[in-house]
Amino acid sequence: MANKLTDALVMKRENAQPCSVEFAFTLPQDAVKAETDRVVSYVASAVQLPGFRAGHAPMGLVRTKFAGEIRDELRNRIFSAAFEKLAEDKALDVLNVNFKTVPEFKDGEDFSFTYVAVVAPEIKLGDYKTMKVDVPLDAVTDDEVAKRIDMYRSMYGSYAEVEGTAQADDMLKVTYKSDFALPEDASASLKRQAAAEDTFLWLSEPEMIPGSIAALTGAEKGKEYSFEAKYAKDFREAAMAGKTVKYTVTVAGIQRRTKLTDAELAEKTGSENFDKFKETIVKSCEAEHASKRRETASEAVMKKLMETAGEFELPQALLDSEIQRELQNVARDVVKSEEDAEKFKKELDSHRKDAEPKAKEALRRTLILRAIARKEQIEVSDAEVEMQMYAMSRHYGCKPKELRDLMEKNGSIDELRMDMMNAKALNTIVDKAIAD
């Protein structure tokens, strides 16, 4: 069925421009009629009308009652056939396709339409298969292992009351109040940020109250301290963002975490003994070093690939999309209130100008890796995409189906597949580039 349509379609290549080609398709009226008849037969076999056995309704009645469904199915078949015909040209890498104008059927006439195809530019890849990058693998040091173990000693240790003055990383039992005027609709978390009784305050990053570490290091039990907290513009509580708030804190107690002994640490971590725990730490550090080496190698490989490719034409439609993505990232970082949103809109041209170089760099990277993936016939299967979405759903704490539905709705599944394919292409080169 599809092959008949593909053969019947007449395709002409027109208005070729850098990264853009128009393809005019024409399906002769006799082929339109023949395919319409096939669609009507298909619909008739699948529906049941009152008074008729399934598949035995008169064709004329089917044509009348299901005219819209028949037209939609006919369009889908013709457009799918057009994609098949485009795909016959293996040298053509189509990135995106849109209609030049919305096509309409006219009785007794040929069916014509034009696709505007965004195509990948020609890119110089060079001899990437023999590329080498010199990225040494850093050895794990005794000092590094000792610091990591010391971190675990503290992490698994318990807090105990201490006398004297407060030190960094201590936990203080405090009552605090501030001069912040709470709005009538203040949330529970905002109220806790402004004032609290008999609560705990850690002298470690990230600070619950900005400036508390500097103000309360050296504090003593039973004494009162005052300081100013300067909240960042992107603070999670929008009502306090960018404001300076004065706090008064009364220290009711000081607790310090006791570090575990070797035997206690082994027991807490479920290790057979301390030596086994230390082996685990060494292996963990080695894995981190290998990961860091690979990340550095990937950056070096990508830099060489981009230098070899040089400058090349970028599809404007894709560049616009990439700029928009960069702007969304910026907006997420800076817009925390309606006031920020208005300011962002006023400065949109400036933000766009700043975003364009990053967008160009990201698009160049994508197109280079896509060209390599195409040349190496690297693909990403549906099963691999599903596995990745499952992992993403666990990371974001949602159900896999919910994530899939969202990604289908916003059209990001194709982007995910592209990102995975490009990652495969880069990993293939990096494997060879750092092979010992």
- Domain span(s) for CATH 1.10.3120.10 in the chain: 273-433
Edge-first strand listing for the sheet containing 10-17: 10-17, 20-27, 111-119, 94-99
Tokens linked to 422: 């490009």
Q: CATH 3.30.70.1050: does it fit domain 2-119?
A: yes
pLDDT beneath 50: ranges in the chain: 1-2
- For 273-433, CATH number out of 1.20.1080.10, 1.10.3120.10, 2.40.50.100, 1.10.3210.10 equals 1.10.3120.10
pLDDT recorded at residue 2: 45
Which stretches within 131-182 are classed as H helix?
Answer: 142-156
Give 348-396 pLDDT, tens digit per residue.
999 999 999 999 999 999 999 999 999 999 999 999 999 999 999 998 8
- Fold for 158-258, please state it: Chitinase A; domain 3 (3.10.50)
Tokens linked to 388: 């990745």
Burial call 84-93: b when 16+ CB within 10 Å, e when fewer: ebbeeeeeeb
Quote the CA–CA distance of 250 and 227 in Å, as a whole number. 12
pLDDT recorded at residue 3: 55
Query: Is 233:159 a contact under the CB 8 Å cutoff?
Result: no
Look up tokens 């806790």; give the residue.
Answer: 192
pLDDT recorded at residue 155: 86
Residue 141 phi/psi, 5° resolution? -95, 155
Q: In Å, how far are 319, 327, 345 from 330, measured between CA atoms?
A: 17, 5, 12
pLDDT recorded at residue 436: 63
- Domain span(s) for CATH 3.10.50.40 in the chain: 158-258
- Domain span(s) for CATH 3.30.70.1050 in the chain: 2-119
Give the contacts of 320 (CB within 8 A, at least 6 positions apart): none
SS3 86: helix
CA atoms within a 13 Å half-sphere pointing along the CA-CB vector of 279: 6
Quote the CA–CA distance of 266 and 273 in Å, as a whole number. 5
Closest by Cα among 297, 371, 412 to 95: 371
User: Which long-range contacts link 422-428 to residues 24+ away (Cβ below 8 Å)?
Assistant: 422/365, 422/366, 422/369, 422/370, 422/373, 424/373, 424/378, 424/380, 425/369, 425/370, 425/372, 425/373, 425/376, 425/378, 426/298, 426/301, 426/302, 426/369, 427/298, 428/372, 428/376, 428/378
pTM check: above 0.75:
no
Question: What is the SS3 string spanning 307-348?
Answer: HHHCCCCCCHHHHHHHHHHHHHHHHHHHCCCHHHHHHHHHCH
Tokens linked to 114: 């034009």
